[in-house]
Amino acid sequence: MTSVRALLRVGPAVDLSGIDPRSTPGLPGRKVTGDDVKGWAREQLTPLGAELARHQEMLYAAAKASGDKRRLLLVLQAMDCGGKDGTIKKVAGAMNPLGLHIVAFGPPTEEERRHDFLWRIRRALPAAGRVGAFNRSHYEDVLVARVDSLVTERTWKSRYWQINGFEQELVNNGYALVKVMLQISYEEQRARLLERLTDPTKHWKYNPADVDARARWADYQAAYQDALSRCGTDHAPWYVVPGDRKWYRDWAVANLVLETFRDMHLSYPKPDFDLEEERRRLAADRESPLVRA
């Protein structure tokens, strides 16, 4: 099968307007999926999830058993209603909560604003052996910070290389980064915002400020394009996942994470005790000391 990473990876020349949010790159043809493509993709989440869970367990075990410093960090960025929460639910949700470290970033608190923009990010990093997922990230500091002029142009421009240096440091310290932008269309965002107004169980997700951000759509796309092209590096590439079809989005992100896991060549740690000896000890204590007493 073709690598989903190879298909979705974007380089310095990325043109976001050329990516169709309704497209489904890498999905096998009808011969494999049958006519119900959506149903097929949804079903695949079960075996994909099992594989993700197995890899997560090996990562966790390696850290516990031998002090392996590796970890995986999924960074999700998208416009409002882009599907960040849903993706975390479906993809991270397949793994063991004990080994997960999920963090959502909102506007910086007063304390956070007293530090440099990477301060709160460093504090939220997953420990060795864990799988982290960021719902928004340090990239907000070159996205909303730029579009809303929260800092000067000079400041946000200097952040691209700071981010590249930071991510290089993470990779050098055993992090595998999976940076994903979920790309939805302007029309799909409207539909999802309307859905939030229509369905009383979704009212809580609606934020009037999202419509203000929506009005700056083109500015956000330009900011995303710069972030992706300047910070899409060999050690920490960016992937753009077409996001209008939720079933494709979940399937694609699960594959991106799984392919990254496979590249880590994880395995279950060898025991640091004598298996035969331990078996003998257990065989020898068949009779309970309580019974003997």
* Residue numbers at the binding site for ligand AMP (CB under 6 A): 80, 105-108, 136, 140-141, 144-145, 150
Q: Which stretch binds Mg ion (CB under 5 A): 8-16, 185-193, 201-209, 218-226?
A: 201-209
Q: Alpha-carbon distance 212 to 144, whole Å?
A: 12
Chosen from ligand AMP, Mg ion, none, partner binding at 140 (C-beta under 5 to 8 Å by type): ligand AMP
With contacts defined by CB under 5 A, how many residues of the chain interact with Mg ion? Answer: 2
Q: Which stretch binds Mg ion (CB under 5 A): 33-41, 133-141, 202-210, 242-250?
A: 202-210
Provide the minimum distance between the beta carbon of 86 and ligand AMP in the complex, in angstroms, as a whole number. Answer: 12
Provide the minimum distance between the beta carbon of 80 and Mg ion in the complex, in angstroms, as a whole number. Answer: 4
On whether the CB atoms of residues 24 and 255 are closer than 8 A, the answer is: no
Nearer to ligand AMP, 147 or 176 (CB): 147
Q: Which stretch binds Mg ion (CB under 5 A): 113-121, 139-147, 203-211, 235-243?
A: 203-211
The DSSP output letter for 257 is: H
Chosen from ligand AMP, Mg ion, none, partner binding at 40 (C-beta under 5 to 8 Å by type): none
Nearer to Mg ion, 68 or 80 (CB): 80
Nearer to ligand AMP, 65 or 150 (CB): 150
Provide the minimum distance between the beta carbon of 149 and Mg ion in the complex, in angstroms, as a whole number. Answer: 20
Q: What is the largest CA-CA distance in the chain?
A: 80
Nearer to ligand AMP, 33 or 164 (CB): 164
Provide the minimum distance between the beta carbon of 205 and Mg ion in the complex, in angstroms, as a whole number. Answer: 7
On whether the CB atoms of residues 268 and 61 are closer than 8 A, the answer is: yes
Tell me the CB-side half-sphere exposure of residue 132, using CA atoms within 13 A: 26
Provide the minimum distance between the beta carbon of 156 and ligand AMP in the complex, in angstroms, as a whole number. Answer: 11
Provide the minimum distance between the beta carbon of 145 and ligand AMP in the complex, in angstroms, as a whole number. Answer: 5
Provide the minimum distance between the beta carbon of 83 and ligand AMP in the complex, in angstroms, as a whole number. Answer: 12
Q: Give me the sheet containing 100-104, strands edge to edge.
A: 9-10, 238-242, 175-183, 71-78, 131-135, 100-104
Give the footprint of Mg ion on residues 65-84 (CB under 5 A). 80
Nearer to ligand AMP, 32 or 211 (CB): 211
Query: What type of residue is 173?
Result: N
Nearer to Mg ion, 75 or 131 (CB): 75
Helix or strand run (H / E) with residue 225: helix 217-231
On whether the CB atoms of residues 177 and 257 are closer than 8 A, the answer is: no
Q: Alpha-carbon distance 164 to 139, whole Å?
A: 11
Nearest to 129 by CA among 229, 25, 48, 55: 55
> Residue 250: beta bridge partners?
none
CB neighbours of 63 closer than 8 A, spacing ≥ 6?
69, 70, 71, 127, 128, 129, 130
Chosen from ligand AMP, Mg ion, none, partner binding at 167 (C-beta under 5 to 8 Å by type): none
Q: Give 138-161 as a DSSP string.
A: GGGGGTHHHHTTSS-HHHHHHHHH
